[in-house]
Each structure stands twice: as C-alpha cells, then as structure tokens.
Amino acid sequence: MMYKTPFLTCGGVVASEHYLASKIGVEILDRKGNAVDAAVATSLALSVTCQNLCGLGGDFFALYYENNSGKVYCINSSGYAPKNLTIEYLREKGYSKIPDRGPLSITVPGYVYGVYELHKKFGGLEFSDLIEPSIILARKGFPISRRFSEAIRKNYELLAKDAGSSKVFLQSDSSIPQEGEILRFPQLSKTLENVKEHGPKGFYEGEVCEGIVDYVQENSGKLIEEDLKDYKPEWVQPIKVFYKDYEVFEIPPNSMGMITLLILNMIEEIGLEGMPHLSKEYVEKLYNIFRIAYRVKDEVLSDPKFVKIDLEKILSKEYAKDLLRKEKFFEGTKVASGDTTYFAVADKEGNIVSAIQSLYLGFGSGLTVPEYGITLNCRARGFKFDGVNKLEPRKRPAHTLSATILRNKDEVLALGASAGDYRPQIYTQLITNYINYENRIQDALDAPRFVWNGNDEILLENGLYYSMLENKPTLSIRREYGLGVAQAVKVRDNVKWAACDYRGDGIPLGQVY
C-alpha cells in the first residue's frame, strides 16, 4: 500500500484531491486570505483540474467552523429539477426511471451560486482575486493528471457522442489526452471571466444562462431560463449527534448526511469495545447496520420542502436502539457509486471549511455546453418515480453529497471522501478508525475499507477481508481497490494537520507559519 505523509504546521493548510488546487488554496492563505477565501479558490481550481468529478455544472455543499464563536454554519447549494421535467412526461417518452445520463438527467447547477454565497458571507479577499487563478489555469492550460486522463478514456464513448464534450475534452483527432499533456479550456475561461465580472448573474442570467438552456433544449432536455434565474442556495442549520466525546456535524436533508449520523448512533449502541479493528466481527456488525440505515434512507430521505422529515426522532439514540431491535433491512437492489471530490481547509486562526462538490457520475450527464465549457450534472437520476423521493418540479433529489466536522474539547477535524451512495458507510469507517481505534489521521484515511453494495454483496479492498468472509455462503464478495478518495484537516493545540489518502492524486499542503 502506498503511504502519504500529513502536512503539519502552525499556519493554514489545504487538503484537496488535486495538487494544483491545494497549491492555489495555500497561495490565497499566504495572501492573508481566511479559510473561506482559500476554500473558494481551491474549489474553483478543482472545477478546472478535475472536470470529470466536479465543475460549474454541478452542486456544492459546505460546513464552516468559525473558531472565535465555535459556531458551525452550513450552505446547501444543490440544484432542483427543472420546472417542466415531470414523471408524466418521462412515462410518455417510454421511461420507467430517470435516465442515468443525457439531457433528462440534468438538474439546475447549484455550484457557482454556492461558492459565491459562501464567500459573500465569510470571505475576506475580493472574489475576483479568488477566481483569477482558475481563469488563468483554464486559459493557459495545465498538465493533465493520470486520473483525469484515465477518466476521459473510461468515459470516451460518452464524451465522443456529445458535440460539446468531444470539443472540450478530446483532441482534434478525437484521441485521448495523455498524462502530462497540456490541457486548455478557453471556453471555460470565458465563463469564469463572466462570473468574475458579474457574480452569479454571469452564470444564472444573460449569455451563459441562455447558452446552457439552448444546448440542453437542442438535445431534447427540459431546462428553461426561468429554472436558472429563480435558483438560490440556502443557509441551513447543520445537524449533529454526539459520538463518544465528539460532536459530529453533518449536512441536513436533502443530503444523506443524516444517514451517516444515524449509523454512528447505531454503532455507539452496539459498541466496538473488544472488537478488533478490521476483524470479521467488525465487518459483519457494520454490514448489518448499513442495511438497516439504508432502509431508512430509502423510506425517508427527500427534499424537506416537499416531505416532512422528523430529524429529532431520526437522530435520537432511542430511534437507533429501536432500529437495531427490529432489524428491518434495506430491500432495494444495488447501492450506487458516483464521482465526487471532497476538500478541507484550515487557516492560521483555526477556522475550518469542510466542502464537497460533484457532477454525480463521471462527467455528469455527458453534455458539455460547447461555447462555455460547462459540463452539466446528472443529479436528477437521484429521483425515483414513487415514494418520498419521487421526481417533482423544482424539487431537490435525495443527495449523495455530505461533509463532516468533528469537535471535542481538544480538537476540531474536517473529513470526507468521494463515494456516491457509499458515503455514509465510508464516513463512519473513517470516524471509527480515528475515534474508536485511535488511528492517526493519515492512518484513518489509508486503512482498508469495505462497502455493502446492496443485496448480499460486499466490496472489499484487500485480501485480509476476503479470507475472513469468503466462507460466508450468503454473501457475494468482490475485491475492490480505491473505494472513495478521502481528505482531512485537523486543528489541535494551534497545530494544523492536513492529510490526503493514497487512493487519489491529492497532496496536502500548507503555510510555513
């Protein structure tokens, strides 16, 4: 197994999935920017360097820990379904579910407004100073990473059949750019310039808005200009539970952060004391808990503007006990994966941002607006045709994205990972690695992971798990490598720690002092 070294300093730190994004974030810290300034700059850089994972056509969530007040703030900048996208329309077109890709899988992109609003509320530097490095990256170009190149290869057919995606991501001869080749995105640079000059109106109104809508409609999608013009992100109250001696903060519904906290409550109820880390017993106990929690997700998780969700009940210790006693397991089929990028920032003063952004699947819908270089998400695939999470106009889907902040009397941590629907499973493993088994922050990220994949299937990251469980006849077991890519930052005794796990390209970086 590869190993990365955490970055320790008394200055600020950035942990992201791309080394250039981390470097840009640290440069903002060096220019006296705060954690939010650095987070916004890092986020925008990720939207240029990791366009398979995230971008201006995706969604954004963040938690912000303000050190002086001890308060945790939360922004939900996930988009809603287009006004004219209905179940009736899809059924008329012969669909029995929402398509995974294509124009009918697109929701309104929340990303641009979200990073702007986060900066507006808590940033210190000018927004134009934070977006400028990404404009330069897109215009002048940068060497493509191995992972980005592999993502283009993996999704070649998807990209090649869309005129915009082919123009933006493939070479003039339709070949795949190889690691180290310079990629330039002049169309995206133009869009970023527009946002720099006009703020959110440079995306949700005017020529960029018109360009997005025209391209989606040319491809038989249902997005209209009004859908973008009416969009606003929301400041919401973060949710939390107490786990051991930590407060664990998460993002409320429509995010599935609620399920992470529910799993932690159930783990605390059964206890892990005396249970060896990564043992057969550990895996089997968590496997059962995951199946219980995902039944709750399936039955409850939705947009709270459309469906009443009793968070006080669901996050109570009594509810966790009751679920464990009844043992009602998830009855669906597969649990979906997805491509996402999580990052975290801490500044010299101890303020922390825990943030995540995504297009959902790699390259989202597969549609890229050719004139503006915006790859659009496929987040509508998170809806269903029935139940609490059924598709409705202007409704936000049950969302896989979430982010965490942990706090006790000695320290504050932010951690998260890519993972799609697996996210609550991976987050709870990261948290139990660190708290229950007292792993160092780097070891907590690097430790082998497993996920329950729906039905009776477990995906395992190493041979040790396999040998433990292969004699269990009711389970189909597959070995997998790279289940999620995690990042974390920690503040303790004025020392800032940043860590990126070995599964990704990320490098933790920070100030010297």
pLDDT mean across residues, the chain: 94
Residue 196 pLDDT: 98
For the segment 245-270, the average pLDDT, to the nearest whole number, is 98
Are the CB atoms for 509 and 24 separated by under 8 Å? no
Residue 207 pLDDT: 97
Residue 224 pLDDT: 98
Residue 4 pLDDT: 86
Residue 280 pLDDT: 86
Q: Would you say residue 10 has pLDDT above 80?
A: yes
pTM: 0.96
Are the CB atoms for 418 and 339 separated by under 8 Å? yes
- Range with the lowest mean pLDDT among 31-45, 173-187, 450-464, 494-508? 450-464
State yes or no: is 191 an active-site residue.
no
Domain span(s) for CATH 1.10.246.130 in the chain? 237-337+418-505
Q: Residue 408: is the preceding peptide bond cis (ω within 30°)?
A: no
Q: What are phi and psi of 471, to 5 degrees?
A: -90, 10
d(CA 268, CA 270): 6
**237-337+418-505 is classed CATH 3.40.50.620:** no
For the segment 45-65, the average pLDDT, to the nearest whole number, is 97
Q: What pLDDT, in 10s, does the model give residues 396-454? A: 999 999 999 999 999 999 999 998 899 999 999 999 999 999 999 999 999 999 998 88
Residue 458 pLDDT: 84
Q: Which two tokens stand for residue 77?
A: 């900048």
Q: What pLDDT, in 10s, does the model give residues 278-323? A: 888 898 899 999 999 999 999 999 999 999 999 999 999 999 999 9
Catalytic residue from among 340, 375, 400, 432? 340
Are the CB atoms for 64 and 72 separated by under 8 Å? yes
Helix and strand totals (H; E) in the chain: 19, 21
d(CA 252, CA 440): 28
